[in-house]
A and B are shown apart, each in its own frame.
Chain A
Amino acid sequence: MHSITFDIAHMLAGSLVLVSFIQLYQQRLSALLNIFALHAFVLAASVAWQAYVQDAPHLYITAVIALIFKALVIPLALRRIVIRLGIHREIENVFGVGLAMLLGIGLVALSMVVMLRVTSGADPLAREDLAFALSVVLLGLLMMVTRRNAVSQVVGFMSLENGLVLAATGAKGMPLVVEISIAFSVLIAFIVIGIFLFRIRERFDTVDMQAMDRFREEQR
């Protein structure tokens, strides 16, 4: 009874959850950024498919935003920042990969249980989409909690937000989706600029501190 359109939508949304899992165990920042670009790409494909299925042309705008802004511009900008700060090879191990994966599986199971149970009356496509979207949101949150580095926290936030866009596009005929995805893009742009200023400033501060120390030594 499932049509091919349903299967494809299902596959794309499921892949998004899968890519979220791949993000969880990335230890190098540059690899993490690559995986995030893939995440955004899968999202763009999923949104475009929804636009086609629901015959809602305005959703193509959201797909294009996801493709250009999140899959290309943001990862490239973050990569430049990471390289300029010299932390692209940095390995961060907050806690074990195994534990993070187990927690992730638990969260996905939780969202399936919650969402599939409460949406029994809803349209099956929207239902599955919503369950997957909540999984992506929770995995994004998990990543924000388990990472210390500002850049990977932002990547966690962006994948969380991808989950929200998935949910919004899954809800048939929801208005304001395009506006909301634009609002989020602006928010993310602000965050990226924020990291840039913040981290760069931190670096200058350390440079200044060294200069101060040298100056003090000369005085002695």
Chain B
Amino acid sequence: MTIGALEGVLLIPALSAGLLAVLPGYKLTSRLNMLAAFLTFATAASLFVVEPASGRYLLVDDLNKVFIVLTTFVAFTTSAFSASYIGHEIETGRLKPAHVRFYHAMYQVLMFAMNLALIANNIGLMWVAIELATLTTVLMVGLYRTHEALEAAWKYFILGSVGIALALFGTILVYMAAQPVIGEGPDAMVWTILMTQAARFDPDLLNVAFVFLLLGYGTKVGLAPLHAWLPDAHAEGPTPISAVLSGLLLNVALYALLRFKMLLALNPVAIAPGPLMVTMGLISAVFAAFMLYSRRDIKRMFAYSSIEHMGIIVFAFGMGGPLANFAGLLHMTMHSLTKSAIFFAVGHIAQIKGTQRIADISGLTVTHPVLGWGLVAGVVAIAGLPPMGIFMSEFLVVSSTFARAPWLVLILVIAILVALGGLFIKLNTIAFGDPRGSNAPAQASYVPMFAHLAIVFAAGIYMPPALVTGFQNVARLLG
């Protein structure tokens, strides 16, 4: 087997995980972590140039190229943020060198698992990869070993395990549906083979399977009745992990859902998965928007904002059609970039102030102008105000679906506006109130945060035609 770009995005993180687990010294290892993440990103980007063929185990098409490039890019910028974050944690003694070694190794294992989930050409392998990603994030959420962190990790663990258990049941059912057509053995789990034969599968089995898959992977996406793990896990873990969870892991679970949706769409008799996704998406968006008002913890607040945005994205994909899929894809990209930028800012803010309580953080634009205005820009973007990219994607979601389901879209618009209000009420005191708390100078790396915000800003103004055609191809693929 020759080692191409496709194998590279798995091998680089796997090898560096092993290396980072044994090397001492956090300065060296955090740089190595960055280097490995950059190499993975470069390899992933090269997928657009070399265009490798899908094999028996690994799959590459327009859909997962977008996901994998986004994943590796945010993973790279987060590793840059993580370097300065971890440096601070070591200095204040919140983390010990042994913990950091573990953290960096786990970071790379997580990259490996996410990339594997994205390029696996086998529904079983994809399930195993998502389980691995869950496990590593559980370990990282519990990194601080405080009572709250362990409790959050435990809750995440139990809910995540139930989710992946349900997803496995769904996966087994898909195999059962495929087996009479394709025959026994591994072939009946390979995506590329499944897709060609899906029209002849037993539709009833596929329907039941999709319900289990939606509940199972939906837990990991953070859809409303199943979201309970998400705010805790975001609030108690190290902030780089909050950024990776919100920006990437939720997307990976969403990717799994989208693949199964495509499979069902190929079967003429099976139910349309769209309405189920639309319902869950709407419930999540509305619920999370109202929950924003009573949050006291800054990271928890932005975790609820993630639930809201995942709701919008699932709504868009559920509506389907080239335009809504395009909007959903764009919104997902913009949300990943913006939310991770916000978590970069929040991470430094929490370190300076020594607290995550919103009541104890105030007047940031006065005491720390760069950080404060960065956060303001991030919140303006995430709330969906022009001229940022999220405004454009939300506008597209609304306009592309309004003709088909005006009442549902009305609910969505209300949720977006409610969320906007909630975010700005909190932002008002955080950024513009009387300065409170520690005034220690920030030892922050601003580059990742502003790089993300710049991309989101640019996308709101001008989208390069190459990107538009790329997204359009994917949107057509999604059906």
Main secondary structure on chain A at its contact with chain B?
A: helix
Q: Chain B residues with Cβ under 8 A from A157's Cβ?
A: 158, 161-162, 165
Determine whether the beta carbon of B176 is less than 8 Å from that of A160.
no
Number of A-B contacts (CB under 8 A): 99
Size class of the A contact interface (CB-based, 8 Å): 35 or more
A114-B162 Cα distance, complex, nearest whole Å: 20
Residues 132-171 of A, flagged 1 when their CB comes within 8 A of B and 0 if not, give 0110010001001000001001000100110010011001
Tell me if B470 counts as interface (CB < 8 A to partner A).
no
Out of A118, A150, A190, name the residue touching B208 (CB < 8 Å): A118
A157-B188 Cα distance, complex, nearest whole Å: 28
Determine whether the beta carbon of A122 is less than 8 Å from that of B202.
yes
Determine whether the beta carbon of B168 is less than 8 Å from that of A122.
no
Determine whether the beta carbon of B169 is less than 8 Å from that of A134.
yes
Tell me if B325 counts as interface (CB < 8 A to partner A).
no
Tell me if A175 counts as interface (CB < 8 A to partner B).
yes
Tell me if B343 counts as interface (CB < 8 A to partner A).
no
Q: Say yes or no: A180-B162 contact (C-beta < 8 A), given A114-B208, A118-B204, A198-B154.
A: no
Tell me if A91 counts as interface (CB < 8 A to partner B).
no
A160-B162 Cα distance, complex, nearest whole Å: 9
Determine whether the beta carbon of A121 is less than 8 Å from that of B180.
yes
Q: Chain A residues with Cβ under 8 A from B168's Cβ?
A: 164, 168, 180
Q: Chain A residues with Cβ under 8 A from B274's Cβ?
A: none
- Interface residues of B, count at CB 8 A: 37
A179-B174 Cα distance, complex, nearest whole Å: 18
Q: Chain B residues with Cβ under 8 A from A89's Cβ?
A: none
Q: Say yes or no: A167-B165 contact (C-beta < 8 A), given A179-B128, A191-B157.
A: no
10 intermolecular pairs with C-beta atoms under 8 Å apart:
A133-B169, A171-B176, A174-B172, A174-B175, A174-B189, A175-B124, A175-B185, A175-B186, A187-B135, A190-B157
Question: Which residues in A have some Cβ–Cβ distance to B below 8 Å?
Answer: 114-115, 117-122, 126, 130, 133-134, 137, 141, 144, 150, 153, 157, 160-161, 164, 167-168, 171-176, 179-180, 183, 187, 190-191, 194, 197-198, 201-202, 205
Question: Which residues in B have some Cβ–Cβ distance to A below 8 Å?
Answer: 122, 124-125, 127-128, 131, 135, 138, 147, 150-151, 153-154, 157-158, 161-162, 165-166, 168-169, 172-173, 175-176, 179-180, 184-186, 188-189, 202, 204-205, 207-208
